[in-house]
Structure 1
Amino acid sequence: MTDKTVASTNAPAQGEVALLPPVDVIEDASGITLYADLPGVAKDKLHLQVEADTLEISGEMSLEIRDGMESTHVEVGSPRFKRVFTLSKELDCEKVTAEFDQGVLKLRIPKAIHAQPRKVEIRVG
């Protein structure tokens, strides 16, 4: 990953408390793949938005406590999470794909055609 391809800007808005889920970003010649660990998040509580050069991942996680049980220790005080990334102009934000499986979100963002490497044919004569 290069800093020019995707940069994380995680400062929550004033007064907003949100978790910052861990994210791995892997870059190859044709684009980037982003993996976000979101344990305890249901698909219907997960929100993705791409606008201009910004990618936002947000939502809520829930921990069900059965009747007759109560929490005695809580390390996750806010069930909301949010990550915001600034995407480079090299990426084609119109072709983002997303998969969500067993608490892991996988996003694939291809590079725009003009930013992908291409082979140049050499003519003789």
Structure 2
Amino acid sequence: MSDNTQLRQPAQTEATRATEALLPPVDVIEDGAGITLHADLPGVSRDRLHLHVEADTLTIEGEIALPAPEGLESIHSEVGLSVYRRVFTLSKELDADRVAAEFSQGVLTLRIPKVEHAQPRRIPIQVG
């Protein structure tokens, strides 16, 4: 990502520390028309995935369903938390009303376009 990154993670506050969650790995790719975000959410089903945009804040939350087989009890678990959560602050150059989401095989892909006036455009040159 360039120094002009369109997406930031806000500083962690007391409120965000109170509800611990796993941080899903995220790749953010910026181009002239907007950003594409890829988040890995293994173990999350589509009906347990929640996306929210409020003002300039994008929140991704997903609940992991890891049921133990009937009659068996877990004696060791390396996944102690059952919720993924990532919160981003969106730049004013991004159009939060036009976010498009796709979820396939545990990978969430979000496309957030830039607002019209922030997109690059070609300026025609007239011969004088």
Q: Give the TM-score normalised by structure 2.
A: 0.90
Counterpart selection for 2:28 from 25, 29, 33: 25
Residue 41 (structure 1) aligns with: 44
Cα contact 2:41–2:62 (8 A) shared by 1: no
Q: How far apart in 2 are the matches of 1:15 and 1:112?
A: 35
CA drift of 1:68 comes to 2.5
Segment drifting more, 95-104 vs 65-74 = 65-74
Structure 2 letter corresponding to 1:123: Q
Deviation at 1:67, TM superposition (A): 1.1
Which residue pairs with 1:102 in the alignment?
105
1:54-73 alignment, distance < 5 Å: 54-73=57-76
Q: Indicate the percent of aligned positions where both proteins have the same amino acid.
A: 59
2:56 to 48, 53, 56: 53
Structure 1 segments unaligned to the other structure (5+ residues): none
Q: Tell me, what secondary structure is at the counterpart of 2:16?
A: coil
Consecutive unaligned residues in structure 2, runs of 5 or more: none
Question: Are 1:10 and 1:84, in contact at CA under 8 Å, matched by a contact in 2?
Answer: no
Amino acid corresponding to residue 106 of structure 1 in structure 2: T
Displacement after TM superposition at 1:10 (Å): 6.4
Moved more, 57-66 or 90-99: 57-66
TM-score, scaled to structure 1 = 0.92
**Alpha-carbon contact 1:54-1:85 (below 8 Å) kept:** yes
Q: Which amino acid aligns with 1:54?
A: T
Q: How many residues align?
A: 125
Alpha-carbon distance in 1 for matches of 2:11, 2:68: 30
Residue 123 of structure 1 corresponds to 126
1:71-102: per-residue Cα shift (whole Å, max 9, x none)? 22211111012100011111111110000000
RMSD between aligned alpha carbons?
Answer: 1.5
